[in-house]
């Protein structure tokens, strides 16, 4: 699995652990957990994963009976996608700035001694 999937699974597991009283009933809570996770706004895109995938705003059943201002004021999908791309770029710049604060640039000259490590490469990738 890749890192994004593992991070998502970790977050879903934490949510289930907080919601379940007896762990053997986790399968009953899973649909509600996934629903809540999919309708949570992400910091990097400022959109919900559901709205980015399907192009509509996810609505709770209670919001169908009692419409909220958020539901009544529909934004166009193109604007949401553009905003998500912009917020994603801003988020990446923010992360880069935070990383660059901890990195000290080093200048090497011809007379300096440096450690050069040559890693072996293997043609056959044995693994999972």
Task: Assess if residue 69 is contained within a domain.
Answer: yes
Summarised one tens digit per residue, pLDDT across range 83-118 is 888 888 889 999 999 998 988 888 888 888 888 888
Q: Where does residue 120 rank: exposed (0-12), middle (13-18), buried (19+ CB within 10 A)?
A: exposed
Within a domain: 73: yes
- Does some domain include residue 26? yes
Does 34 lie in the same domain as 57?
Answer: no
Judgement on whether residues 61 and 95 belong to the same structural domain of the protein: yes
Residue 59 lies in a domain: yes
Is the pLDDT at 75 greater than 60? The verdict is: no
29 and 70 in a common domain: no
Q: Are residues 53 and 33 in the same domain?
A: no
Domain assignment present for 116: no
pLDDT grade, residue 61 (50/70/90)? low
Residue 118 is assigned to a structural domain of this protein: no
Domain with 82, as residue range(s), is: 40-101
Q: Is residue 86 part of a domain?
A: yes
Average pLDDT across the chain, whole number: 79
């Amino acid at each position: 699995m890749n890192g994004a999937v593992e991070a998502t699974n970790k977050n879903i597991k934490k949510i289930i652990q907080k919601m379940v009283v007896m762990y053997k009933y986790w399968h009953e809570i899973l649909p509600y957990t996934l629903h809540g996770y999919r309708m949570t706004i992400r910091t990097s895109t400022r959109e919900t994963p559901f709205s980015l995938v399907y192009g509509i705003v996810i609505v709770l059943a209670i919001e169908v009976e009692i419409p909220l201002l958020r539901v009544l004021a529909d934004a166009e999908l193109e604007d949401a996608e553009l905003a998500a791309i912009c917020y994603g770029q801003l988020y990446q710049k923010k992360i880069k700035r935070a990383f660059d604060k901890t990195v000290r640039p080093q200048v090497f000259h011809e007379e300096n001694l440096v450690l050069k490590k040559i890693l072996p490469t293997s043609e056959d990738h044995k693994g999972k």
